[in-house]
Structure 1
Amino acid sequence: MGWQGAAWLEREEREREERGSLLLKELALRPGLDVADVGAGTGYHARRIAPRVAPAGRVYAVDVQPQMVAMLARLAAQPGLENIVPVQASASDPGLAPASVDLALMVDVYHELEYPHEVLGALVRALRPGGRLVFVEYRAEDDRVPIKPLHKMSEAQIRREAALHPLDWERTADTLPWQHVVIFRKR
């Protein structure tokens, strides 16, 4: 999504439609975790994750679009969100240091990547041993999901692409109305 769609990311009905609060439960967040919100956009999820990993944990809010990074930095400039670190990524590199995060999250992002294999490889390197990589994508298997097919991914497709990296599938949660949450752990 281009930065021009930022208002859609911040829409009032997003929680009702996508149930991001359920996603937060699936992530098993706790104080001290370092999290990368990859393709963070406006920082919608980063702002909800930050208080749950504070005070010692950081949230790296990663985006490839400078306009989105500037927007998320502005929206995160409020008390209680000092642990959000905006990160300018490139199309092939999320810009995270090796072994710097415990959890990397991509919400409706992976299907948009220009260089998915390279980005996934960089994310695996950024994970600490045993770290988790979480894909949240609109379910291609479900015709009732009101999203264009090019913005959907099947669980099988996600698992095939992740299998090319040192990741083990841990579980898939279908607790969200339209998206699956596919969780992998770094070997």
Structure 2
Amino acid sequence: MSDAESFHEYVRARTAALGRVAFLLTGDAYLAEDLVQLTLIRVAARWEKITAAGDPDPYVRRVLYTQHVSWWRRMRREAPVAQALPERVVPDFTGDVATGLAVHDALARLAPRQRAVLVLRYFEDLTEAETASALGVSLGTVKSQAKDALARLRTIAPDLSERRLTEATR
């Protein structure tokens, strides 16, 4: 199988999963599509080297994460800072929809690295070591970011328990 064919096969097989992760990172379907496309463009240029090293998923996830952080930093520099955020009114949905919205809002209030750690650990179901490898950080960083992120989630969304958070991201 040629490199182009293997890349096309990878794109067909993994685009939906990458899109879900990108959506959890960005919180916007259109930005998630853009992030996945940019990631795949960057990966395509190095596909031969990536596949020579073995499984391409950790590398692709790292590119996705770093592109998201770059966007976040760029938007942070370019966007004017509001003095006070308006109150968000969330419709009173029941069941999984309400939990999903609460998780989405809570994740949006985390720092990008904390969000990435939680998405990879609880949504992608990666081990701590796999998460550290995907993000290019140490195992201790993953543990501390996860601990801090979960503590922050408990503060900003006390109605979400860890069990409900894990169920909502699956």
Q: Give your verdict on TM over 0.5.
A: no
TM-score for the superposition, normalised by structure 2: 0.30
Larger RCO (CA within 8 A; separation ≥ 6)? 2
More helix by share: 2
TM-score for the superposition, normalised by structure 1: 0.28
Task: Look at both structures and tell me which one has the larger radius of gyration over its CA atoms.
Answer: 2
